[in-house]
Structure formats: structure tokens, C-alpha cells
Structure 1
């Protein structure tokens, strides 16, 4: 009888842990999907929040950590562009573009923006100053 109770407790605990793990994986997958979608749209603020959610579910996930770093750099580069800080923006965009094992869309966006940086800054300054 004691053995049966022990087996049932172990089995119940295992099922509970598996359920929690499954929920964390689902939360991670949803956050990563949302992050990718918002990166595709250039919404880096929301992407950053989604990568943070993914890391809450899987703290040591390298892809989420690397992508979060890229998004933060893109947000800072956007601010640099708005403030006409060409060299600072160029440096951050280069860091995003050179990132390995991160978000490939961010790499492409950084390369594109970096190539068009002088024009983008000129247009922004003429438009908004």
C-alpha cells in the first residue's frame, strides 16, 4: 500500500512538472512568433517586449537573448538617426548586421538602413527640423 501511494505521488508530480514545462514552451513559442512578426513590421519596441517574454519562459535561450540584443541596438540606432548621429547609428547597425545566430530579418534591415543612412538622415532632418 505504501509503495502504491509513493508511486502515485511520483506519477502525479511528474505530470504536474510536465504540464508546467509544456506551458512554458508554449509561452516561449508564442512570444518568439509575435517577436518575429513585429520585427518584420519594424516595431522594435513590441519585439523587445516579446523577446523579454520568451526569456521569461526560457531564461537561457540563446536565440531570444541574441535577438533581444539586436532589437535593442536597432532601437538605439533609430534614436541616433532621429538625432542625426550618423556615426553612432552606423556603428549600431553594423553590430546588428554582424550578429551571428540572431534574427536574420534584423540583419537584413540593419544592412539596408546602413546603406541608405545618409539619405535617411538627410530626409529626416529636412522633414522634421
Structure 2
């Protein structure tokens, strides 16, 4: 973590030094304001493009094994259980879930008990948290 902080601190120090040098040049030689603003915009555009490129590259390297694990975990749950879990993650009550899925509240309670057993949790908050951790739901 320290290495990462030092890396970004150094990058910011270099960018700040460049910015101050350009600012000094601008005020000393009275260059056009649009040139100064353009250089600053170019620096930030480049920095933004680099960050997005790194983020996309890191996102693309999701291990295939983890993706297969996610699919095998989802296969353990019925479609209805996944629907109940998704609605549960949005904060709906048992009555609201029952109304949305056209089921009885007792059926929802049964699905929830099955989910609690499969996820090895004891309440709805833990179930949602564990499902998100296992990437069963988003």
C-alpha cells in the first residue's frame, strides 16, 4: 500500500511541478490564456485516459476460474430463489416480495429459509451480504 501511495504521490508531484513551470512561463512571457488552459486540459485528459485504460485492463483480467465458480454457485439456487434474493437485496419486505412475484408470504418464507441454509446465514441482511460477496447477485 505504501508503494502505491508513493507512486501516486510522485506522479502528482511531477504533474504539479510541470503545471507550475507552465504557469511561470505563462506569466513571465504573457502567452495566450487559451494556450495555458489547453496545456492543462491536455494533461488532465491524458491522465484520465490513462486511468480509464488501466481500469479497463484490470477489469478484463477477471480470472476464468472465478467466473466458472460464480456460474456453479448460481446453479445451486433455483430461479425463484434468485429472484427472491434479488428483491431482498433491494430492501423489499416479505409481503412486497410475495406481491411482486404473485406468491404467498409463506412461500417467500420457505424460499428465504432455503436461502439461509444454502448461504449458511441466519438473517436477511447476512444473506444479501453473503450473496454479494459470492457474486451471486450484484
How does the TM-score come out when normalised to structure 1?
0.32
Largest Rg, 1 or 2: 2
How does the TM-score come out when normalised to structure 2?
0.30
Higher helix fraction (1 or 2): 1
